[in-house]
Amino acid sequence: MKTTREQSAALFARALKVTPGGVHSPVRAFRHVGGTPVFIDRAEGAYLVDVDGNRYLDFCMSWGPLIFGHSDPDIAAAAKSAIDRGTSFGTAEATSLELAELITRAIPWVEQLRFVNSGTEAVMSAIRVARAATGRDKILKFAGCYHGHMDALLVQAGSGLAGQTIADSNGVPAATTADTLIAPLDDLAAVETIFAAHGPQIAAVIIEPVPANQGLLLQREGYLAALARLTRKHGALLIFDEVISGFRMAFGGAAEYFGVHPDLVTYGKIIGGGLPVGAYGGRAEFMAQVAPLGGVYQAGTLSANPVAMAAGLATLRKLQRLSPYAELEVRTRTLALALQTASINHSAVRINCQTAGSIFWLCSADASANPEAVHAPAQIPLTHARLYPRLFHALLNNGIYLAPSPWEVGFLSTVHDSVCIDTFTTAFKAALDSLSPD
């Protein structure tokens, strides 16, 4: 493929003058992989086309929301129809009601929900509800789990902070995180120790049930169920951050997939069909804390925006109608097996591909044919941060677009067919051939 990206470089030079780092989200900056960000002109199905005319098979898929691929005709038609009726009303409208009814009918542990504009806002609001419902202040989170950029949880948060020498963001007062407790993933004993010391003060435990912001760090069987038992024992709430996994692992997200139901849950990405949406919900007794019913204040001018609601409604209706989850999981495992086989047969580089539903993550591995699964940030091989940038650019030059970060995951959509899997595998083999041992 043509690999010149002169127009992208020119646009990035302009962006640097008017935007911090030239981007509107840190992980877009190519900081972890080097080089210049690719500026995209258009997208359709499984493909991106940049401003220089280069075409890429996309496995980033806007970081997860595009489960039916780019520019899905049904979702696009719903959004365009909504635009024709008005882009924002600032008052009550029916589409958000239909979407809320669809979700609460299908997901028993979400009796009520409130739409917001982002996953960060959803988590912030769910935390506030948990504190109000329990009368407690402390929140327990896990190292490597990212819950948006609210001050109190921006500690050991993975994602754009992964690999930095600082554990949290500048500009966050120490007092803001004083009630945030941190536990390591893959260590239930540590959680039990924290509860033994702080149990009566812990309002909630929040976790990504599929940790996917510092690698794909699936927890061992029974871990989530154990967390649920601990929170019930100590009178705390269990919050699942399903911004990534919601409606992707299953219609009911990771909670349905693993059979562990939270007290509160946050959603984003797929719930908006590719438009900016977040939501938080749970048992009605907890959601009754939210204004105007209760004393937990949360508001937003563009919350339940009618265009985003229409796109989300079209997406979720299509998911219910087609139920693509089993087929997506099979395709993802097929891809992972093909990539791992290619890696095992290659003398220079060894890659392990971890999967969860239609989510995958390429991670540097040791020389064994069956590398140990990675469950926590500390288990990620030191070679990974050095290997991934070279692999990323080798794949990019062979027409494959992945997330420009060693710690971000990839996604399959329904438009990633066997031809796409074969194309990725062929490009992956070529990329391995271009790399020398680390």
Query: Which has more pLDDT, 164 or 28?
Result: 28
Mean pLDDT for the stretch of residues 427-436: 89
Instruction: Read off the pLDDT of residues 165-193 as tens digits, 9 standing for 90 and up.
Output: 334 566 666 777 788 999 999 999 999 99
- pLDDT tier at 371, thresholds 50, 70, 90: low
Q: Into which CATH architecture does domain 73-322 fall?
A: 3-Layer(aba) Sandwich (3.40)
Phi, psi for 140 (deg, rounded to 5): -105, 120
| Beta bridge partners of residue 45, listed in sequence order | 70
Active site residues: 146, 241, 269
Per-residue pLDDT, 58: 98
Indicate if the pLDDT at residue 116 is higher than 70: yes
Q: pLDDT by residue (tens digit) across 12-25?
A: 999 999 999 999 99
3-397-420 Cα angle (round to 5) = 120
Residue pLDDT, tens place only, 121-177? 999 999 999 999 999 999 999 998 988 876 667 665 554 443 333 345 666 667 777
Q: Which H or E element spans position 133?
A: helix 119-134
CA angle 262, 268, 270 (to 5 degrees): 110
SS3 38: coil
Average pLDDT, the chain: 92
Alpha-carbon Rg for the chain in angstroms: 21
Please determine, for residue 204, whether its predicted confidence score (pLDDT) is greater than 80: yes
Q: What is the pLDDT of residues 313-365, one digit of tens each?
A: 999 999 999 999 999 999 999 999 999 999 888 766 788 999 999 999 999 98
Q: Does position 404 have pLDDT exceeding 50, yes or no?
A: yes
- Range of weakest confidence among 153-157, 389-393, 408-412: 153-157
Q: Enter the pTM of the model.
A: 0.93
Residues facing residue 142 across a β-bridge: 183
- For 243-261, how does the pLDDT look when each residue is reduced to its tens digit (9 = 90+)? 999 999 999 999 999 999 9
CATH of 6-67+324-434, one of 3.40.710.10, 3.40.50.300, 3.90.1150.10, 3.30.2090.10: 3.90.1150.10
Q: Specify the pairing of strand 351-356 against strand 359-364.
A: antiparallel
Please, where in the chain does CATH 3.90.1150.10 lie?
6-67+324-434
